[in-house]
Structure 1
């Protein structure tokens, strides 16, 4: 009986806290502060790997479906995009080293790099963007933007 009473009291305390204290603005957190840096500097450092139908490269900035999404996300953060064009392996290294903030290239959720980088929830079927591992505020904000903007359509 005492055990049930203690469990009931614990549940009431936990539920009461949920209703009165909203999550702080910095939740979830980015250990390396990527989203805060983007907001402060006004620059999204994006990587692009060529993939027909998703990312086209040539003279100038990358074009195509995913670069348009990155540009839209940056605009939502009042930021510009600085592009780096490279192969997948190089983009993963740049993400790991904190030199870029996200990468696109027609990547799918069956991505070979899943243990080295963070992947957004799938959009447009099975496609994902890569972000630095553990930068949860950036990833969460990007996923919310993709959902709200219809990026997955």
Structure 2
């Protein structure tokens, strides 16, 4: 009498994972995603950016930010055909505005040791940003907006390395 072949649990799990991945790809599911659609909304539209003053990185004169971080954000906006709309505030205010959906991006003297990691999405650290002075600088996006974060990191990797 011949015994029926019973697939192993590992093979079943691998098959199920592969099938799910193929179905997701076929359905146009994009990974990573933005639950709030930040990247889709800002592409070809307005990029709401908050900045906090930080010597050598963001200078604020008459309410207008300038400096290496501002230049990077403006270059990033250009790559996605977005128009940056700037506001200047404290770090805490910027993080709150990210949480409340009033900002898409925040820049300043944030480092990879940022205390805001449970309240905002944080890029990898970039010590190659002009004016970083050895610090590993990060930028903040709304928590969970992973497509936006991935697009920003890809840009920063090209521009300043990691």
Q: Shorter chain as normaliser: what TM range?
A: 0.7 to 0.9
Number of aligned residue pairs: 150
Equivalences for residues 25-104 of structure 1 within 5 A: 26-40=30-44, 42-59=45-62, 61-104=64-107
Q: Distance in 2 between matches of 1:59 and 1:138?
A: 30
Give the 4+ runs in structure 1 shifted more than 6 A.
Answer: 16-20
Q: Is the 8 A contact 1:69 1:151 kept in 2?
A: no
TM-score for the superposition, normalised by structure 1: 0.84
Aligned to 1:130: 140
Shift of 1:61: 2.9
TM-score, structure 2 normalization: 0.79
Correspondence list, 1:108-147, <5 A: 108-124=111-127, 126-147=136-157
1:100 Cα deviation from its structure 2 partner? 0.6
Larger Rg: 1 or 2?
2
**Contact 1:47/1:102 (CA < 8 Å) preserved in 2?**
yes
Partners in 2 of 1:22 and 1:71 — Cα distance?
A: 35
Once the 2 structures are TM-superposed, how far is the Cα of residue 25 of structure 1 from its aligned partner? 6.7
Unpaired segments of 5 or more residues in structure 1? none
Q: Which runs of 5+ in 2 are unaligned?
A: 128-134
Displacement of 1:3 in angstroms is 5.1
Q: Is the 8 A contact 1:47 1:85 kept in 2?
A: yes
| TM-superposed deviation, 1:132 | 0.5
